[in-house]
Chain A
Amino acid sequence: MSDSFKFEIDGVEVLARRGQSIMQAADEAGIYIPRLCDVEGLEPQGSCRVCVVKQNGRVVSACTQPVIEGSIVENESEEILGYRRDLVRMLYHEGNHLCPICEASGRCELQAMGYRLGITQATKYPYLQPVRPVDASHPDIVLDTNRCILCGRCIRASRDIDKKHVFEYVGRGIRKRVGVNGYNLADTDIALSDRAIDLATCPVGCIIQKGRGFFAPIGERQFDKRPITLGILPVKERSEQ
């Protein structure tokens, strides 16, 4: 049994190693599959569903699904793009995402994903407008869970890298939110140097570092310059180059 094998993403032949997820194999091949809850260095959890693809006709999350040898994967089909738009819209409408007043604007992955998927108009869903207290108790960190998309990246970073387990999901269903290990953040052992607080961990403006607001002017931020691909080019752009 050979350790590497071939499969297809949108008609492009890709090499994968046994045990790799579709996402890992695509990343190595330079094919970008959109994602929000998955990020380099953390265990994938498959919760945002933005990375859904069709593998041999079944809709699966690319970050958790192992590649099947010889399989046909749809990544950028109209059907899949439609699902992704709906999912990103759901996240927009679940929380309060007021980009013009948000510190994360321009470096926000949700915003960038919206642009990438062509969501430029008011969308069809109702706004849920949560009203949760902002936790500004900590001297260095602000937590505004009204902007949280429940990606769990802070939870995994704090648990698996910082070994502190400061954050955890509490509640269930639409009342599910990220809780902290204390009455508030100041009551925990969180620190600015934690991976959980790193700018690359929270994809939105839920975790904000105090005193660093607007460290780069809007217009000169990460996604102001080029669309979100995390350094990977989508199939179409790649073939055009």
Chain B
Amino acid sequence: MPDNPYSNGGKMEKSVVSVCQRYANDRTRLLDILLDIQHELKGITPAAMEVVAQRTGITRVEVEGVVSFYAFLSSEIKGERMIRVCDDIIDRQKGGREIAQIFAQELGVAVGGNSADGRFSLEYTPFLGMSDQAPSVMINDTIFTALTREKARRICSRLREGAEPADLVERYGDGNNAHLLIRSEVTNNIRHAGEVLLNTLDANAGLIRSLGSQPQAILDELDKAGLAGRGGAGFPTGRKWRVAADTRADRSYIICNADEGEPGTFKDRVLLTERADLMIAGMTVAAYSVNSTAGIIYLRAEYAYLRPWLKSVLQHRREQGLLGRAILGREGFDFDIRIQMGAGAYICGEESALISSCEGLRGEPKNRPPFPVEAGYLGYPTIVDNVETFCCAARIMELGSAWFGSIGTGRSTGTKLFSVSGDCTYPGVYELPFGTSVQQLLKQVDAPDAAALLVGGPSGQMINMSQFERRLCLEDLPTGGSVMVFSKRRNLLEIVDQYLQFFIDESCGYCTPCRVGNVFLKKRIEKVRKGLCELEDMDYLKELGRTIAMTSRCGLGHTSPNLVLSTMQNFPLVYAVLLKEHGDGLQASFDIQSALEESRRLAKRRSMIYDPNYDEA
């Protein structure tokens, strides 16, 4: 092996080598390798990257490419305690930024930096998935919710004493949140349990019934049930599985997308906590129907606190014969699942980016075709479905397509989990039939002051009060589950501005329109907010938004202008009051005084025309 020119001694190298060996120096497991190094050494320095490169047979810059892609990986050494404050709009509205300031003061660490003694690091993170119990903070892998100043101070003082973050949890949440392997203060906030997912049920009944029928019959049943993907796009699940089943290949994969990153959604958090068995049963049904032997649960980094729990559920199922070799005694049906941790990238919720991430690459979407069901993970047919979709599939196999199809609307069958947060009395998870009206939902969550509703997260639509009769379903208002309620007190343009920053930060940067266009959208919205825009700027925003939506390569860019466009359409007055007339023939955005400032400085004199008291100089 060639010498490592960046090496500064044996200790780091030993740790890195041993981590690489843990994954058989497999380049496709690069994300796991880097996550372990980050965990053990608190950072992945160029020297460490060099060792990883040598071990896995790639170049150092490739390793750097992956490290620099994910928010939870860093090339600098971070503190022993990493504090991530959720900076989503809901958390901000509940005082998240004040909480960050308390951590900063109490621990002597600036946001984005390390404390002088190197023990603590503090960062903002875009979305922790705790909007129903905001403001929230993640310290290493432990989640803290509903933070108050007092609670933040208590945590800080214990941290200074050297306490383990996990030992700072003051009370456990409900249900499995109190389980020995979770022990989290997160609460489920299940406000309404529907008949498909959140009521009392037998997690394995659907799997057992499935194994009694032909794989083909399962696909037919899903088609008949009209099951559509629950992630937001609503693609027919049966059709997806069928393509995978019909594609000739040596093997195929089943991936569960538990990378719930759309701001405002947290319903998968609840399913992972309370319905893990059902979800895995659904994955196993998928495996049986397409003859797959291996599956992956892609768990977002923010939900790392659920990992030991999920691992134990998998292990328990192996012991019960529900996973592994000869499932339920059926010779020839072998299927097992591993957990792939994410590393802080919203884009990895996009199925092909998620696959890239599982392959140890930068989490960039892939060109389609081929679609993942034809050639996905490692080039093999791959089914990627949302947590909720797998859960529904298992229930359909238990109770039949007629039962499932009788719930919901024509095109949107079954129930849907809605994650409701913001200005309402009862934020939480609601399982309601598809087709429920916004009005009905608002009544249940008790939001009499609701003036605007963001349906489907920042990539969805902001609707106004006159649209509250619309229905939540694929035919009308589709959503992967996120519903954020805003009262009249909220500044909609601040929300737009903040979520454009979110898209700028979370764009993978692969294609021009999404990488650059979103920056331009935000810059213009900033000008609108400052009152420096005129009517023509509305056309600019519309045209730019259209180019981004039409020419981007994946769903992120297709939907990132939605919030700008829907607020312009549904809240025109919010924009109109800030627009200027330009009676003087100058552009509203053009400020002659600030434009002259640099010339004044360089010329060391004032302007004869624009400085009225020029002669006095």
| B369 contacts the other chain (CB 8 A) | yes
Q: A173 with B512: in contact, given A166-B61, A168-B61 (CB under 8 Å)?
A: no
CA separation between A44 and B366, bound complex, in Å? 12
Interface size on B, residues (CB 8 A): 39
Most buried by B among A47, A87, A169, A175: A169
Number of residue pairs A-B, CB distance < 8 angstroms? 123
Q: Which residues of A contact B (CB under 8 A)?
A: 44-50, 52, 59, 61, 64, 66, 82-83, 86-87, 90-91, 93-94, 124-126, 128, 149-150, 164-176, 179-183
Is B569 part of the contact surface with A, judged by Cβ < 8 Å? no
Which of B158-166, B241-249, B304-312, B499-507 sits within the interface?
B499-507
CB atoms of B520 and A125 under 8 A apart: yes
**Given contacts A44-B367, A90-B517, A181-B59, could you give 20 more A-B pairs where the C-beta distance is less than 8 Å?**
A46-B511, A46-B553, A50-B512, A59-B551, A83-B550, A87-B551, A90-B516, A93-B516, A94-B512, A94-B515, A124-B540, A149-B512, A165-B62, A170-B69, A172-B507, A173-B504, A173-B507, A173-B515, A175-B509, A180-B61
Question: Which chain A residues border B369 with CB–CB below 8 Å?
Answer: 66
B60 interface residue (CB < 8 Å to A): yes
Bound complex: CA A126 to CA B547 (Å): 16
Question: Is the pair A128, B551 in contact by a Cβ cutoff of 8 Å?
Answer: no
A164 to B62, CA, bound (A): 11
Q: Do B60 and A182 touch (CB < 8 A)?
A: yes
Asked if B61 and A170 sit within 8 Å, CB to CB, the answer is yes
Report whether B65 and A169 are in contact in the complex, using a CB–CB cutoff of 8 Å.
yes
Q: List 25 A-B residue pairs with CB atoms under 8 Å apart, sorted by A's residue number.
A: A44-B367, A47-B510, A49-B513, A50-B512, A82-B543, A83-B550, A86-B543, A86-B547, A87-B551, A90-B513, A94-B512, A124-B540, A150-B509, A167-B61, A170-B64, A170-B68, A170-B69, A171-B69, A171-B509, A172-B345, A173-B508, A173-B509, A173-B515, A175-B509, A181-B60
Residue picked from B61, B68, B369, B508, most chain A C-beta under 10 Å = B61
A125 / chain B contacts, CB cutoff of 8 Å: 520
Asked if residues B59 and A165 are in contact (CB atoms below 8 Å), the reply is yes
| Chain B residue with the shortest CB-CB distance to A170 | B68
B552 interfacial contact with A, CB 8 Å: yes
Provide the residues of chain B in CB contact with A172, threshold 8 Å. Answer: 68-69, 345, 362, 507-509
How far is it, in angstroms, between the C-alpha of A128 and the C-alpha of B552 when the chains are bound?
Answer: 20
Which of B64, B509, B540, B544 has the most chain A CB atoms closer than 10 A to its own CB?
B509
B313 within 8 A of A: no
Question: How far, in whole Å, are A44 and B553 apart by their CA atoms in the complex?
Answer: 14
Q: Is the CB of A49 within 8 A of B512?
A: yes
**B596 part of interface (Cβ distance < 8 Å):** no
Asked if B523 and A126 sit within 8 Å, CB to CB, the answer is yes
Q: Does residue B58 face the partner (Cβ distance < 8 Å to A)?
A: yes
